[in-house]
Chains A and B, each alone.
Chain A
Amino acid sequence: MLRTWICIILFILFLIEGALTPWLPLKWNEGLHITPHFTFIIILYTCFYVQRSFAIIIAFLIGFFYDIIYSNQLFGLYAFCLGFIVYFISYMIKRSYLGFFTFTLVATLSLFLLDSMIYGIYYLFKLTEQSYIWVIAHQVLPSLFVNVLFSMMLYLPFRSLVVHISFKQKG
């Protein structure tokens, strides 16, 4: 039940990322590029509050979904990055049910890692010529700000969803 809900939420957020976020007044400066990672945040929540193995599997699946729908220059990039980072984070942090601040910290760290990794792979394949410093200033940090804000906003709704559904299943 909970898993179905998570999949539905992920799909809606996936649609929103491509169709709604260009319209949101997120940009406070012309040259910035904000990459929404809303699905990734849901996957992180799933990893720490629902089940780790399930989170890794949906990270791969959503990653492949990105690769198929947007067909970027590198096929498999998102599947690799999302899957690897969720695996890595869940391997490093063994504790479940993190508090608000710990979770935000973990989310910040992994979002930074994700954007850096995507840049790193593009750079490795010589598909971008920007310097890392420029990318951090114009893409990674602005996206990080928006995404962390989103993850903080989602903390209470997601936890109440988890509690509500698992309570329903028991009773």
Chain B
Amino acid sequence: MFKLFGNKKLILLLLGLIFFTALMGISSIEKRDNFIWPEKFLKDSVSWMQGLIYRPAGYIAGFFENIVDLKVIHEENKALKLTLSQYARDRAKLNRLEEENERLMEELQFTEEQKKINDYKFHIAHVVSINPDAFNDTITINLGSEHGMELNMLVTTTDGLIGRISEVTPLNATVQLLTDFNDQFNNSIGISATVLGSEESFGIIQSYDEKENVLIMSQINQNDILKEGDVIITSGLGKLFPEGIEVGTVLSREVGDFGLTHIAKIKPAAKFENLMEVFVVEKPGM
């Protein structure tokens, strides 16, 4: 016993063990969202330097990929032209609807605030780095609180939703990808979702199944009309997140853990790899 305490190295080791266990334990309880200035400075300067590497590397990698994909381009071009003609048609329809919407709003005497509620701003952001850690799927983007970024803003690509902002520093923000969502963890958050075209459906996207690479939408009512092949969008209920952003398509629907509600497996519309540009959706009045 006496000898044990005489051993300086052992005591140091034990103290270190206790210190780190406490540190990790405390940090696991609650996620901080305000950083002290050295932290902010370090994060921003390192992210800036990583941004210098990430984009050129992406272009070079994309160049080689393009050479491989050259064969596919012709067919892709055809498909794109087809979508483009559809787009023009939709555009005309949209203009008419928008006009009508505006007219109706005037007639119903909407306030300025109510008119602007669905007027989302899309900020384009460049990805500067990807977290190498296997259990934390986060990326860093080059917009921060200086550019008006705030916690819990949704982040999308041109394909669909990829995540939400989980941390903000002055010049950069960290995006928690959908692949990192899990309802068991305290850093996670649920996004309310609905079916495109039938907005009375309701479910919460809260988890990601890493083994099957699908999102899990839970809390679906037994009588809900959601079915296989439906397109899932964010519903904007709860007013924290914007509405109408595409999440993915339903792969299957089954009875949930307790048999009271159903869950649906959703194939994400966006890809979470090789991200270059993402869009941050700013909700007015947030």
- Residues of chain A touching chain B, judged by Cβ–Cβ distance below 8 Å, are 14-25, 30-31, 33, 35-36, 65, 68-77, 79-80, 83, 87, 115, 118-119, 121-122, 125-130, 134-135, 139, 143
Question: Would B129 and A127 count as touching, CB distance under 8 A?
Answer: no
- Cβ of B136 within 8 Å of any chain A Cβ, yes or no, is yes
CA distance A30 to B53 in the complex (A): 24
Complex Cα–Cα for A71 and B39 (A): 10
Q: Which one of B43-51, B146-154, B239-247 is at the interface?
A: B43-51
Q: Are B210 and A73 in contact (CB under 8 A)?
A: no
- B128 and A72 contact, CB distance less than 8 A: no
A30 contact set on B, CB distance < 8 A: 213
With A23-B61, A68-B39 given, can you name 11 additional A-B contacts, CB distance below 8 Å? A18-B129, A19-B50, A22-B273, A23-B54, A71-B32, A73-B28, A76-B24, A115-B134, A125-B25, A127-B135, A143-B134
Could you tell me the distance between the alpha carbons of A18 and B39 in the complex, rounded to whole angstroms?
Answer: 17
**Minimum CB–CB distance for A60 against chain B, Å:** 9
**Of residues 47 to 63 in B, which have CB atoms within 8 Å of A's CB atoms?**
47, 49-51, 53-54, 57-58, 60-61
Nearest chain A CB to B159 CB, angstrom units: 17
Q: Complex: how many Å from CA A22 to CA B133?
A: 12
Compute how far the CA of A18 lies from the CA of B130 in the bound complex, rounded to whole angstroms: 5
B27 and A22 contact, CB distance less than 8 A:
no
B42 & A19 in contact (Cβ 8 Å cutoff): no
Query: Which residues of the partner chain B approach A87 to less than 8 Å between Cβ atoms?
Result: 13
Interface residues of B (CB under 8 A from A): 13, 16, 20, 23-28, 31-32, 39, 42-43, 46-47, 49-51, 53-54, 57-58, 60-61, 128-136, 138, 140, 167, 174, 182, 184-185, 187, 210-211, 213, 273-274
B46 touches A69 (CB 8 A): yes
Could you jot down 16 A-B contacts, CB within 8 Å? A14-B46, A18-B130, A18-B132, A20-B57, A23-B274, A30-B213, A35-B133, A36-B132, A71-B43, A72-B136, A73-B135, A73-B136, A75-B24, A122-B135, A126-B184, A127-B28
CB distance from B29 to the nearest CB of A (A): 10
**B132 with A79: CB separation less than 8 A:** no
Residue in contact with A19 in the complex, picked from B13, B129, B134, B185, CB distance below 8 Å: B129
Instruction: Give Cα A150–Cα B184 distance, bound, in whole angstroms.
Output: 36
By the criterion CB–CB under 8 Å, are A74 and B24 in contact?
A: yes
Q: Is the CB of A80 within 8 A of B24?
A: yes
Measured CA separation A79–B21 after assembly (Å): 11
* B136 CB → nearest A CB, Å: 5
Residues of B within 8 A of A143 (CB): 134
Q: What residue of chain A has the Cβ atom nearest to residue B185's Cβ?
A: A127
Instruction: Chain B residues near A69: list those with CB within 8 A.
Output: 42-43, 46-47
Measured CA separation A75–B28 after assembly (Å) = 8
Taken together as a complex, chains A and B put the C-alpha atoms of A130 and B135 apart, in Å, by 10
Q: CB distance A33 to B24 under 8 Å?
A: no
A141 to chain B, nearest CB (A): 12
Known contacts A22-B274, A76-B24, A76-B27; decide if A15 and B133 are in contact (CB<8 Å).
no
Cross-interface CB contact of B138 among A65, A70, A77, cutoff 8 Å? A70
| Chain B residue at smallest Cβ distance from A22 | B130
CA distance A83 to B16 in the complex (A): 10
CA distance in complex: A22, B43 (Å): 19
Q: Which residues of B contact A83 (CB under 8 A)?
A: 16
Q: Chain A residues with Cβ under 8 A from B182's Cβ? A: 129
Closest to A139 in B: B134
- Residues on the A chain within 8 Å of B26, using CB: 75
Residue in B51, B54, B273 with the greatest tally of chain A CB atoms within 10 Å: B54
Residues of A within 8 A of B23 (CB): 75-76, 80
The verdict on A15 contacting B49 (CB below 8 Å), with A23-B58, A70-B131, A128-B135 known, is yes
